[in-house]
Amino acid sequence: MNTYEVVKRRIQFLCEERKITINKLATDSGVAPSTIKNILYGKSQNPGIVTLKMLCDGLEIPLAEFFDTEEFKKLEQEIK
């Protein structure tokens, strides 16, 4: 699994856990719904750190918590 897939799955998991929609996350984070959809549906496979921070603010978690999962810890180097 690559970094993009782990980021996408993490956003989906956090939304499901909180029972919020993409539109609610967009409203809470100040990120356009189209931007979130582009990340989740593969059109944008390299979301910026500022966007991820804004999403974390909307989810009310620190950025460090977003990345503090086994999936992120197990990622292999993508550039070889």
CATH code assigned at 23: 1.10.260.40
Look at residue 80 and tell me if it is in a domain.
Answer: no
Q: What is the percentage of the chain residues whose pLDDT exceeds 90?
A: 90
Residue 79 has a pLDDT of 76
Packing angle between helix 3-18 and helix 33-40, nearest 10 degrees? 120
68 band by pLDDT with thresholds 50, 70 and 90:
very high
Containing structural domain, residue 28: 3-70
Name the DSSP class of 2: -
Residues 6+ apart with CB under 8 A from 66: 10, 14, 52, 55, 56, 59
Reduced to 3 states (helix: H, G, I; strand: E, B; else coil), residue 64 is helix
Average pLDDT over residues 44-72: 96
| Residue at 67: amino acid letter | F
Total number of domains constituting the chain? 1
Name the DSSP class of 53: H
